[in-house]
Structures are given as structure tokens and as C-alpha cells.
Structure 1
Amino acid sequence: AVKERELPPVDDAFAKLASEFDTIEELKKDFTERLTRVKKLEQGAQARDLLVEKLLADITIEVPDDLVLEEVNSHLEGEGRLEDDVHRAEVDKEVRDSIKSEFLLDSLVKAEEVQITEIELTEYLVRMSQRYGMAPDQFAQELQKAGQITQVIAEVTRAKALASALGRINVVDKAGAKVELEELRIPAAAAAESAPE
């Protein structure tokens, strides 16, 4: 025999039990608002990625082979796969694309004369420390020990430059409706967390 599981009714009692809301209407409203926000954030991230793709397609960026080789070897060595030629080709492409994106975004930083504030850097460090389950001070010390502070500053600055460029273009969804990115304006620190590498 098949056992049927009986689910509780979706009512105010359920809303109180399953959430901080007192009524099912409040819970539904919150759920709808969250879904709408997630969709808008996804549209913003997609617009950002498409902008980078478009810029990369429109320009030629020469990437030094020795820099690529160094990065590829470091990556493969870390995986213990130095002799894997198929994987080497995949990693080579990923590294080239990543370096091209960094060069492009660095050019954007320079052209836009973008600088980040101490507050933006701190916000980024706090967010990332939470992601890793560490205290912000401890996370910053670990980054400093690993010699990655400069890289983090560059990452946040690139994200801010990209957000600035994105703010000057019109973005439409598949239906042709304008996507209001201004509503999604988030600090450079948050943008850096999801910026393309």
C-alpha cells in the first residue's frame, strides 16, 4: 500500500508556525516580493555579464602567453594534473578569458577614474567574512597573510567600474520591457562578490 502524507492546510496557523508572519497573506506577500527581487537581481547580473561579453567581443586584447602559462601551470599543479593535456586546454581558455576580463575592467577603471572608499572595502570584507564563517578582522588578517589585499581592492574597484558603466546603458528584458537597474544599485562591495572573473 502507498502511504499518503497529509500536508497541513496553508492558512494563518501555518504562516505563524512556518514564518515570522501572522497571516498567510503576509507570508504570500513577502514571498512574492522576495521572488521579484531575486528575478531583478538575476536580470542585473545577466546584464552585467552580457556587457562584459559585448565589450570583449568588440575589442582585441592581447594576453601575454607567459602569464597564461604561469597561471595554467599553477592551477594544474594545484590539482595534480600537470600532464592532462585535455584539461590543460580547458584551463588555458578559462585563464585567457579571465585575464582578458581583468584587463578590460582595469581599462574601464582607468577610463572612469574609479576609486573605492574604505567603507566599500570594509563592506566587502564583512560580507565575505560572513560567507566564510569568520570574524571580519580574522578574515582581513588571513587575506593579508596570503598577500591578497591588493587583489581584493582590484576586484572591488573593477566591480564598481562595471556597475558605473552598466548604469549608463539601457537594459531591456526579452519582452522588450526596460529593466530598472537603479533599483538594484548595490554597493561596489556586493557587486564584487558576483563580478565575472
Structure 2
Amino acid sequence: MKSAVETLNPTRVRLTVEVPFEELKPSLDAAYKKINQQVTVKGFRQGKIPARVIDQRFGRGAVLEEAVNDALPKFYTEAVNEGELNVLGQPEVDITELKDGELLAFTAEVDIRPALEIPDYSGIEVEVDAVEVSDEDIDKSVEQLRERFATTSPVERGAQDGDVLTLNLEAKVDGEVLEDGVAQGVTYTVGSGELLDGIDEAVTGVEAGGSATFTSELKGGSAEGKESEVTVEVTEVKSRELPALDDDFAQLASEFDTLEELRADSRKRLEQMKKYDQATQAQEKVLDELLKLVEVPMPEKLLEDEIQTRKHNLVNHQLGQMGLDLAKYLEIQGKSEEEFDAETKEQAEKGIKTQFILDELVNKEKLNVSQEELTEHLMRRAQSSGMSPDQFAQAVVEGGQVPMLVGEVARGKALAVVVEAATVKDSNGEVIDLDDEDETAETVEAADADAAAETEGSDEKPEA
């Protein structure tokens, strides 16, 4: 077999391959055997039909087509390996010559990973938010905990802000009660703003057994967006009582004996959360600066596929689960379709660039992934997916996604190398040491996980 590589642009090549006919013999034999098992010819047992009879009855062309389709993946792979190409996705194959008994020639155009030059990144400098926990932050945290331990009790008075009500609702449009406009026994906290605009004003002052009518734009259902006359009946009014902020509350809501100890623990947890946010912010900003340093040619076919994948996942999975279509989603977001397309393209480009650059760094820095690191990463991904580790691991293995997970971990390590080399300062001008941060891979996953499957290449076989 002879092969040659023609560079069409920095991200695409054309392979020209010539195969002597004798190298097709194994595939020809396999084609005759396959056809033998699929057809019957009077006078011959199935599987024992001579090749010349198959040629006469079904045509030599059918045999050649079967043999070529069987052989193409092997010869294409040999040509890729011979050219030392790092291909992306599926090739576009064109058979240019097929002479029975003499020669098979074909071309294959395919995207390749562009060659990248990673410059010195040690000069990257970014600023992140300082870790500052105020007394107000602690007060808010303790108050949220206090809200969880609130109790309610029925009262014989008009509803007030913060009360918990039980309501019956009926919505009319143009004087007609909507089929889906009736609800019974709805629990609602006055002032939460969780139901309909105008409901808080309507129920304030109404006692159990009373009712009120107000006009509001419906937020969902068959008459979504229409003005409706809503009648609300209050069947029960309960006041919410918060526990006193004292040592007894600390013992009730935590493992601590005093309120002072509870507040100290709240400060510690808030500091840890802000340090984690700070580390994530540093990783994102360092990654953005790294992307600016490296010129990355973009494979157009890969970009098109990635954009379509992102759109498909949004429309058919995320929006589908929420009962929305793309038009309604864009209306809610206040975006035009052109703006949405531009944002999707920008995100897709960033994801692909991120993967290319970090993969190049993995090779440059000779980074390896240990079994322990892969297991830890798998556990995190399982947790975020809502599956058990065993279920997630089985799905990964069955789906052939282990290399993808290894790549995610390796890219996380590559980003960690860059972050460690960069200068990270907080908004107070203090240099931040991020050596203790373990979750470096998560930022990379957010940026490039969607692009990973596209850029890993495909196992499908090229056909004529």
C-alpha cells in the first residue's frame, strides 16, 4: 500500500491511498463467505456456492463493493498511522479508481489536531476576590439555619407578611374558569413571591374562611401570559415562630453547646466556601489568559458538529425537561436567535480550544493519570450525575468513555500546572497560594466536557 498526505489547511488533510489488488484478497474472501451465508442457489448447499457462480448470479460488482467497504477502514487506519496524523472525527472518503484484479485507489479528507506552540505561561497574573467573611455574612448564615427550625401555629387573625397560608385558587379568563386553573390546599408563605403577582396584597388582612379576588398575568398553564381574574380562598392562617438565638438554639440546630461556638463554625465554613470559590475563580481566569496566549486554528467541521451537539442537548434534554422550546427559552432570556447562535459558537470554540491547549500541555509536561486519581474523578462525576459510583462506572465502561474521563483528569492536572506557575493576587493585593486546592479538574470539565466526545475521534468505519 502507498499513501501520501496533502495539507489542505492547518486543521485538514487529504490522504491519497493506492492499494495493490492482492492486498484485497482477505476482504474478497470474507465478502464471498458473507454472501454465501445470505443467498441460496438451486443445486448448491448454502455456504458452498462457488465464487464464479456468485459472480454470475449476483455480479462481481456486489462482491467488490462488499470487499472494499470491509477493507477501507484497515487501509485508512494504516495510512493515518503512516502519516503520524492525529485525526478528528470521520473522514470523507472518495474511491477514485477500482480496477478489478489491479488496483484500489481512494482519497480521504479528515480534520486533524492542529500543531500548537505553547509559549511561556509563567507570566500570567490574575486577580481574584479576597476571602473576607463579615459579621453580616455570619448573621445571614445563622438566620438561614434559624429559618429551618421555625415552627407554625394556627392564628385567628388576618394574614400578615411571613404567615403560612393554606389556599384554594380559581383562575378565570374572559369569565370562564380554566380547566387547569383550579388548585386546592396550596401552601403559601406571604411575601415569598412564589405564586402570582398581586397575591400578597390580596391575602394580607384576610382571615381563615375569607376570600379575595385580584387580577394577575398567568405564569404557566394553558393560558400562560394572559390576564386572569383569580379568586383566592384562605382556609388556614399560621404564624411562623423563629427560635430564640441563644445557646439552646445552638444545641437544637447543631453539635455545639453555645451560640458563640455555632457562629465560629459558621465563619469557618464560610471561609472554606469562599476559598473554594476563590480557587475556582483563579482557575477560570488563568485559563482565559492561557487561551489568549495560544493561537489555535479551528477545524470547521468539528466546530459545526460541536455547535449542533450543544444545541441538541439544550433543546432535547435541558429545555425538554422544563417543558420549553427554543423560542420560549430565547424569549425568557431576552435574546434573539442570532445572539444565541453567536454565544453558542463562542462557547463551542472556547471548549475546543481549551481541550486542544490542555492536551498539548499534558504531552509537553508528560502528565500521567493514576488509578487513584481516575477513581476519585469517577466518584465526583457519579455524584453530580445522581448515579451510584458502581452504576456510573458500569455506564462509562459500556459506553467506551474511560479514555474521555482519563482525558478530563489529565487536562485538570495540566491546568493545575499553569495555575501553579501563574501569579494569583486577591483584591487586596495579597498573593494567593492555591497549592492546597484539590478540585482543579472541575473547572476544566465545565469548559470542555461537552467538546470531549467530538474531539476524541470516532469509532465508526469509513465507507465508500
Per the TM superposition, whether the score is higher than 0.5 is yes
* Counterpart for residue 422 of structure 2: 169
* Counterpart for residue 269 of structure 2: 34
Residue correspondence of structure 1 range 42-121 to structure 2 within 5 A: 42-78=277-313, 79=315, 86=338, 87-121=340-374
Supply the distance in 2 between the matched residues of 1:128 and 1:25 (Cα, whole angstroms): 37
Amino acid at match of 1:27: L
Asked if 1 retains the 8 angstrom alpha-carbon contact of 2:283 and 2:443, the reply is no
Q: CA deviation at 1:141?
A: 1.0
Supply the distance in 2 between the matched residues of 1:105 and 1:13 (Cα, whole angstroms): 53
Bigger Rg over Cα: 2
* Counterpart for residue 64 of structure 2: none
Asked if 2 retains the 8 angstrom alpha-carbon contact of 1:76 and 1:88, the reply is no
Asked if 1 retains the 8 angstrom alpha-carbon contact of 2:286 and 2:422, the reply is no
Deviations 1:147-173 (A, max 9, x none): 322111101110011112212222111
| Corresponding position: 1:185 with 2:437 | yes
Asked if 1 retains the 8 angstrom alpha-carbon contact of 2:246 and 2:259, the reply is yes
* 1:194 equivalent among 439, 443, 447: 443
Count of aligned pairs = 191
* Counterpart for residue 252 of structure 2: 17
Q: CA deviation at 1:26?
A: 1.9
Supply the distance in 2 between the matched residues of 1:56 and 1:194 (Cα, whole angstroms): 14
- Identity in percent: 37
Higher mean Cα deviation, 129-138 or 111-120? 129-138
SS at match of 2:367: coil
SS at match of 1:167: helix
Q: CA deviation at 1:98?
A: 0.6
Asked if 1 retains the 8 angstrom alpha-carbon contact of 2:283 and 2:440, the reply is no
Supply the distance in 2 between the matched residues of 1:7 and 1:85 (Cα, whole angstroms): 48
Gaps of 5+ in 1: none
Supply the distance in 2 between the matched residues of 1:131 and 1:3 (Cα, whole angstroms): 37
Amino acid at match of 2:397: Q
TM-align CA RMSD: 2.1
- TM-aligned CA distance change 1:169 to 1:73, over 3 Å: closer
- TM-aligned CA distance change 1:109 to 1:40, over 3 Å: same
Higher mean Cα deviation, 37-46 or 84-93? 84-93
Q: CA deviation at 1:104?
A: 1.2
SS at match of 1:171: strand
| TM-score, with structure 2 as normaliser | 0.39
* Counterpart for residue 132 of structure 2: none
Q: CA deviation at 1:16?
A: 1.2
Gaps of 5+ in 2: 1-157, 163-239, 317-325, 327-335, 449-464
Amino acid at match of 2:248: A
Deviations 1:115-165 (A, max 9, x none): 111001101111222233322121011122233221111011100111122
Asked if 2 retains the 8 angstrom alpha-carbon contact of 1:43 and 1:179, the reply is no
Q: CA deviation at 1:6?
A: 4.3
* Higher helix content, 1 or 2: 1
Asked if 1 retains the 8 angstrom alpha-carbon contact of 2:279 and 2:437, the reply is no
Q: CA deviation at 1:13?
A: 0.8
* Higher strand content, 1 or 2: 2
* Counterpart for residue 159 of structure 1: 412
Asked if 2 retains the 8 angstrom alpha-carbon contact of 1:13 and 1:23, the reply is yes
Amino acid at match of 1:25: E
Asked if 2 retains the 8 angstrom alpha-carbon contact of 1:12 and 1:22, the reply is yes
Deviations 1:45-88 (A, max 9, x none): 1111111111111221111001101222233344367xx96243
| TM-score, with structure 1 as normaliser | 0.86
SS at match of 2:377: helix
- TM-aligned CA distance change 1:3 to 1:35, over 3 Å: closer
Higher mean Cα deviation, 39-48 or 85-94? 85-94
Amino acid at match of 1:53: D
Q: Higher relative contact order by CA 8 Å / sep ≥ 6: 1 or 2?
A: 1
Residue correspondence of structure 1 range 140-151 to structure 2 within 5 A: 140-151=393-404
